[in-house]
Amino acid sequence: MLERVRRLPGIESAALASTVPFGNYHEGRYVERPGIPRDSSLNGPTYRVVSAEYFRSLGLAMVKGREFTAAEESLPDAARVAIVDTVLAKQLFPNEDPVGQMIRFVPRNGEPYIDHEPMQIVGVAPTIREELMDQGEDAHIYVPYGPNYRPAMNLHVRTASGDEQSMATALAALRREFREIDPRLPVLELTTFRRFHENGLELWAVRTGGRMLMLVGMLALGLAVAGVYGIKSYLVSRRTREIGIRMALGARPGNVLGMVMRESAGLTLAGLLAGIPVALAAGRLLSSILYDVSGFDPIVFVTAPAILAAASLFASYIPARRATRINPLSALRAD
């Protein structure tokens, strides 16, 4: 199957893997250096059985060493080798070059003895994010498919072009190829990695929570706008007698309106100068629980104050404009 898929037009590389990043199933194995006790404080790295071209298919360049070869991909009696990522290499070989070093899996009950034989590290791969909330600090170890056969595998295919049309064509070609190889071959899912990621339950939960928080934030902003508008409108309306006196003494409506707006703008500016630092401090305090979002969002910190300032100025303008248009004697009789 791999040989035929790799020959398809528009396919750059193809590889097998026992599990998929951001998938619903993960494996872990404890690893140690022969003769050196394992550090019990370290978690077991993510364990993955892969074929040749796996990292190339994911668009990842090896940090050191090489990927698995075609022989290691297909021969059950191939040499026992492994690839570690930069996190596991730093844990096991903090001051040494890991390529060429020997490691082994910590024995577990019921496993064949061959699974505990030492393996030679042939390459160091970049670390990847395994789960949505993962910050790229979890260790990984990869073993070749040949000596570590799995009946259920995931096929990773990299197309020469990343546009939607090219990927749709590649998916259709893959389905045809699978049917020609064996019509009974069970293909559980055939999709792009982006669509696979977006359809994940974890991402759906995060997005749903984000939308709910956004609605709560918009509701809070709406309540703040209503409160600011109501208070400012009430305060200016209370100055109707003052405005009537000023106009009775000869003040022009434009001058009175300008005076009210300047005072309102000064009060609004003072409120913003006091509130924005508090909002920045709150954002910094909450940044530790945010996922892939900074505690300082320029759009939010510009839009929200602008809306509140507009509501404050508009609330001052409407009653002030109305007061300058009434008869001064009527304004003097206003409560």
User: What would the pLDDT profile of 124-174 be if each residue is shown by its tens digit?
Assistant: 999 988 877 776 678 999 999 999 888 889 999 999 887 888 888 888 889
Looking at 41-45, 74-78, 93-97, which range is the least confident one? Answer: 41-45
Average pLDDT over residues 115-124: 88
pLDDT at position 40: 73
Residue 114 has pLDDT above 60, yes or no: no
pLDDT digits over 129-138, tens only? 887 777 667 8
Output the six-digit token pair for 38: 């394992």
Q: What's the pLDDT at 320?
A: 79
Q: What angle do CA 303, 308, 309 make, to 5 degrees?
A: 95
Alpha carbons 85 and 96: distance in angstroms, whole number: 14
- Residues present in the chain in total: 335
For residue 32 the two structure tokens come to 């140690």
Q: How high does pLDDT run on average in the chain?
A: 85
Angle at which helix 201-237 crosses helix 298-325, to 10 degrees, equals 20
Residue 199, phi-psi category: left (phi > 0), alpha (psi -120 to 50), beta (remainder):
alpha
* Residue 16 backbone dihedrals phi, psi, to 5 degrees: -105, 150
Residue that is written with structure tokens 């974890």 in the block: 202
**Cβ atoms of 152 and 186 closer than 8 Å:** no
Provide the pLDDT for residue 112.
55
- Residue 309 pLDDT > 90: no
Question: What percent of the chain has a predicted confidence (pLDDT) above 70?
Answer: 93
CA distance linking residue 185 with residue 174, whole number of Å: 12
Residue % of the chain over a pLDDT of 90: 25
**CA–CA distance, 135 with 147 (Å, rounded to integer):** 31
Band (pLDDT 50/70/90 cuts) for residue 305 is confident
Name the burial class of residue 172, with classes exposed (0-12), middle (13-18) and buried (19+) by CB atoms within 10 angstroms of its CB: exposed
Q: Are 42 and 85 in contact (CB under 8 A)?
A: no
Task: Pick from 34-38, 95-99, 192-196 the range whose average pLDDT is largest.
Answer: 95-99
Going by pLDDT thresholds of 50, 70 and 90, the confidence category of residue 16 is very high
| Contact in structure between 45 and 88 (CB atoms under 8 Å) | yes
Question: Do 31 and 104 contact (CB within 8 A), yes or no?
Answer: yes
Are 201 and 284 a contacting pair, CB within 8 Å? no
Model pLDDT, residue 324:
73
d(CA 250, CA 328): 10
pLDDT at 89: 93
Considering only residues 110 and 296, tell me which one the structure prediction assigns the higher pLDDT. Answer: 296
Beta-bridge partner residues of 159: 11
Distance from the first to the final alpha carbon of the chain: 88
- For residues 335 and 332, give the distance between their C-alpha atoms in angstroms, rounded to a whole number: 8
Q: Token pair for residue 327?
A: 């008869």
Q: What mean pLDDT is predicted for residues 15-39?
A: 86
DSSP code string of 87-137: HHHHHH-TTS--TT-EEEEPP-TT--GGGGS-EEEEEEEPP---STT--S-
In the three-class reduction of DSSP (H, G, I as helix; E, B as strand; rest coil), residue 47 is classed as strand
Selected residue with higher pLDDT from 323 and 46: 46
With a cut of 80, say whether residue 331 has pLDDT above it.
Answer: no
pLDDT in tens, 257-294: 888 888 888 888 888 888 888 888 888 887 777 766 77
pLDDT bracket for residue 49 (50, 70, 90): very high
Span 234-250, mean pLDDT?
A: 77
pLDDT at 42: 74
